[in-house]
Amino acid sequence: MAGKDTQQSNELPVVLLHRLPSMNLPFNPSFRDHLRFHVHIVDPHESPEAEPYDSCLSRHAHSIRALITLGLAPISPEFLERLPVLELVVTSKDVADCAVGLLINVLRRISAADRFVRGRMWPVQKAYPLGFKLGGKRVGIVGMGSIGSEVAKRLSAFGCSIAYTSRNKKQLIPFPFYADVSDLAANSDVLILCCPLTERTYHIINKDVMVALGKEGVIINVGRGSLVDEKELVQCLVQGEIGGAGLDVYENEPNVPNELFGVDNVVLSPHCAVLTPESFEAVHQLIVGNLKAFFSNKPLVSVVSND
C-alpha cells in the first residue's frame, strides 16, 4: 500500500513548501491533506529520510515547478537559481485592513488613550490630547499593487484624497501618480508603504522623504521594515520632525528600537497584519485554486502585481 501511495504522489506535480524551520503551516489540519490531493509537496524541513535541507532540495530541484512561500522565508536570486524549472510562486498577503487600522489608531491616539485610562491618569489629568480625523487626509500610497489598491479602496470610502507612486504609472488607476516618492510625501499627510522590498526600494523612505512629509505627517508600514531607514525614522519621531507612525514591520525583527517604546505617537504591531482566521481560509482557497489552474494550463486565480 505504501508503495502505491508513493507511486501516486510521484505522478502529481511537485511543489516546494518554502518556510523557516520554526514556521509551520498556520492552516486548519485538513488543508495540508487537501493540498496533497492535488500536488506532491516537498518540505525539506519534514523530509521523511531526515536528510539535510540542501540535500533534499537538490534531489527534487529538477522536478519543482511551483513554490509555496510561507511567512518570512526569504527568496533570494541564489535560491531561485537552484530551482531551474520553477515557473510559479504562490503567496498571499491581505493586510489592507491592518494598514487602515494602524492609521486610525495613530490619528485618534487609540492605543495611547487606552494606556492613559488603564494607568489611571484620567482622574488626575482630566483632559486628554486631541486626535485627528481621518476624513479629508491626503494619503500617499507607496506601491499600488494588490494591497495598495485595497488600501486605496478603503480610504476612499473615508473621504481621503489618494495619490500614489510605483514602478510605473497605472493606466487604470484614477489617482494622481508621482514618479518620485519625495514629491508624493510633500503632497501627502500620510504615507502608507505597501510595496515589496527590492534593491530599488531599500530605504526608499529616507530622511529627505520624512522631512518632505512634514511635522504632522504619519508613516504606516505594512510592507517590509527595510523600506524605511529605521534609525532616521526613530530620530524624526523622537525629535518631532514627523507626527507619528504605525509599524507592523521592522528592520531587525523581532527587535524593535527601544526609543519607540516611550513615544505615544507610535503604534507597534508584531508583523501580524495577515494573521486572521479569515485570511488563512482565503489563502487555502487561493493556493489550491492557483495550483490547480497552473497545472491545468488555465488562467491563474490571482496574479500578484510586482509593484
Catalytic positions, please? 224, 253, 271
Grid cell digits, residue 80: 531561485
Task: Report the relative pairing of strands 14-18 and 64-69 from DSSP bridges.
Answer: parallel
Q: What are 135's strand-pairing partners?
A: none
Helix (H, G, I), strand (E, B) or coil at 291: helix
Other C-beta atoms closer than 10 Å to the C-beta of 147 total 28
Instruction: Name 300's Cβ contacts closer than 8 Å, sequence gap at least 6.
Output: 290, 293, 294
Residue with cell 500500500: 1
Instruction: Look up residue 11 and give its amino acid.
Output: E
Instruction: Look up residue 173 and give its amino acid.
Output: I
Region class of 143: left (phi > 0), else alpha (psi between -120 and 50), else beta? left
